Amino acid sequence: MSVRVRFAPSPTGYLHIGSARTALFNYLYARHTGGKFLLRIEDTDLARSTEESTRSILDGLAWLELNHDEEIVFQSDNADKHRETARKLLAEGKAYRDFTPKAEPNEANVKDTIKDRARANQGEKNMRDNPFRDLSVEESDARAEAGEPFAIRLKVAEHGRTAFDDAVYGIQERNYHDTEDLVLLRSDGHPLYNLAVVCDDIEMAITHVIRGQDHLTNTHKQVLIYEALGITPPTFAHLPLIMAPNKGKLSKRKHGEVVSMTTYRDAGFLAAAFRNFLALLGWSASEEQEIYSLEELVQKFSLEGIHRSNAVFNFTENDPRKWTDDKAQWMNAEYIRTMPVEDLLRFVKPELKAAKLWRDEYEDDDREWFEKTINLIRQRFFTLKDFSKQGRAYFSEDYDFDPAAIEKNLSKFPDLKTWLPELADRFEAEFADKPYDEENIEIVVKAFTEEKDTKLGVIMNGARTLLTGVAVGPSMLSVFEIIGLDRTIMRLRSQVAWT
RNA sequence: GUCCGGUUCGUCUAGGGGUUAGGACACCGCCCUUUCACGGCGGCAACACGGGUUCAAAUCCCGUACCGGAUACCA
């Protein structure tokens, strides 16, 4: 039977880094096995689901290039089928009506309330003590017909255990004793998560459920539903969780945008690099290679390579340099400086366009210059943003001067205020009749340096500041050449940086 | 509380009876260089703890600690 997996996010926010990795693993497994990667939006929680969130998640997946097969399934569209299934189980005596009035959840802190309640039970709670569990069919029917509201709960047997062989965690067993008679259908008629998931997974013919480890207990409940339905459950593979630096939960509320996929897109990350980084969080091919193309990931991915322990997404709040995981930043830089230039150009173009630095000539008349420039400046860049920020001076006359660069390379050497314009004159004279290339530039600048009885670095770094606005970059000889004679002369004469 | 899971450098990880416990990122130092966040070389740094089993344990077993997850008419 061919593999069918699904990524099933609930649209209650943007695409979280953990969800993105789950999607990636599902995608890789599907492609590796030649199966299908399906998408299902779990929007059964009407109160929290939003269309905007769905769009944001879809955007995130599109950015990561995790294209799904077949039509997107919206879980809410299947509510009738879910209800039908619940009624079927009720009719078969595998579920029962619970007429207990619905308890309103404490809005403020649902999680804590639940935890406190569970703790208060001291683990002594009998999961089978629901008074309506053994209500006679006649009475149950009568009360329902009389219009009394009820929820439908699964009737979990007194003795026995659920068991499944997790592809990552191995054999998982749980006594029925520890599982409550879970609610399948709310008293307002809305199907609940566990029921909906099972129905849809069956409907979609899912063969492998790959999802976060936080679903481990849900899986036992779902196995129960499969058993009640008489259907063989799919294979489960639970993924270790991605934690915050303090090993606590990585949450949208506490950690903000670092966990959102769109943040990385907007910060100038390459999808390929981030995908690569994500793939290595909780999975490895048991080898030392770390840079993988998508094709390699697809080829090497296996459920066996998934780890059992949680991974930390490492970043330091309030440290701009380490706002996100170091390795993710390094990997992005690695991609930027090593990928084929032609590929990189496709990503640089929209970046420059967005910054209003793009000129169509870069694709025809100036293509050679453009490619050479990108190739030169990418060596020290970390993100696509750097092309429009640090690299701005290569594409525009309207660029800023980094105060630190001025301080370091200009202010300390007041002579440069007259020397640099002088160098401009020298360039103008010297290059009137010879090629403005690195070799000749070096000769001229060195001669100039000797005349002024100063160090080469003083002239070079002063020029760098004037020509590029920043203190870092490629070899100055290359910079002179790539900026071109006219712009070099103009910028060396300019006094704006000095004011 | 109860159930479940986990624990190798700061982080991501390799190794699953005999290894100088390997790599990557980060950090530090040196080199290259006109500066530099490129590059090169090097350094720091880990088997949670306690018992077993064994000639031999990071590796197998048990316990403890710690961390995490779940515990809802949320998903």
- SS3 of A444-476: the string is HHHHHHHHHCCCHHHHHHHHHHHHHCCCCCCCH
Domain shared by A410 and A424, yes or no:
yes
Residues 88-117 of A with CB under 7 A from strand B: 98, 100-103, 105, 110-111, 114-115, 117
Beta partners for residue A311, in sequence order: A242
Query: Residue A42 in 3-state DSSP?
Result: coil
Residue A139 lies in a domain: yes
Q: Which domain holds residue A123?
A: 79-185
Residue A371 lies in a domain: yes
Domain final residue pick, A338, A373, A408: A338
Domain shared by A413 and A480, yes or no:
yes
Looking at A311-437, list the stretches that DSSP marks H as alpha helix, in order from N- to C-terminal side. 326-338, 341-354, 367-377, 385-388, 403-406, 416-430
Domain shared by A46 and A137, yes or no:
no
Domain shared by A323 and A419, yes or no:
no
The whole-number Å distance from A48's CA to B68's C1' is 26
Within 7 A of a protein CB, which nucleotides of strand B?
Answer: 1-8, 10-15, 22-27, 33-38, 67-75
Altogether, the residues listed in chain A come to a count of 499
Domain shared by A412 and A498, yes or no:
yes
Q: What is the pLDDT, as a whole number, of residue A124?
A: 66
The reply to whether A289 has its C-beta less than 7 Å from any atom of strand B is no
The reply to whether A248 has its C-beta less than 7 Å from any atom of strand B is yes
Residue A192 lies in a domain: no
Number of structural domains found in chain A? 4
Domain final residue pick, A150, A185, A220: A185
Q: Name every residue whose Cβ is closer than 8 Å to that of residue A105 and which is 6 or more positions away in sequence.
A: A113
Residue A129 lies in a domain: yes
Domain shared by A60 and A88, yes or no:
no
The reply to whether A396 has its C-beta less than 7 Å from any atom of strand B is no
pLDDT tens digits, chain A, 499 residues: what are they?
799 999 999 999 999 999 999 999 999 999 999 999 999 999 988 778 899 999 999 999 999 999 999 999 999 999 999 999 999 999 999 999 999 988 776 666 777 778 777 777 765 678 888 889 999 999 999 999 999 999 999 999 999 999 999 999 999 999 999 999 999 999 999 999 999 999 999 999 999 999 999 999 999 999 999 999 999 999 999 999 999 999 989 988 889 899 999 999 999 999 999 999 999 999 999 999 999 999 999 999 999 999 999 999 999 988 999 999 999 999 999 999 999 999 999 999 999 999 999 999 999 999 999 999 999 999 999 999 999 999 999 999 999 999 989 988 999 899 999 999 999 999 999 999 999 999 999 999 999 999 999 999 999 999 999 999 999 999 999 999 999 999 999 999 998 888 7
Spatial separation of the C-alpha atoms in residues A60 and A11, rounded to whole Å? 12
Domain shared by A370 and A450, yes or no:
no
Contact A208, A3 (CB under 8 A): yes
The reply to whether A490 has its C-beta less than 7 Å from any atom of strand B is no
Which residue do the tokens 């492609």 mark? A31
The whole-number Å distance from A483's CA to B7's C1' is 55
Contact A69, A29 (CB under 8 A): no
Q: What is the pLDDT, as a whole number, of residue A254?
A: 87
Q: What is the pLDDT, as a whole number, of residue A122?
A: 60
Residue A330 lies in a domain: yes
Q: Report the half-sphere exposure of A5 (CA within 13 A, side-chain side).
A: 27
Q: What is the pLDDT, as a whole number, of residue A45?
A: 81
Domain shared by A271 and A365, yes or no:
no
The reply to whether A180 has its C-beta less than 7 Å from any atom of strand B is yes
- The two beta strands, A36-41 and A4-7, are parallel
How far is C-alpha A111 from the geometric centre of its chain's CA atoms?
Answer: 26
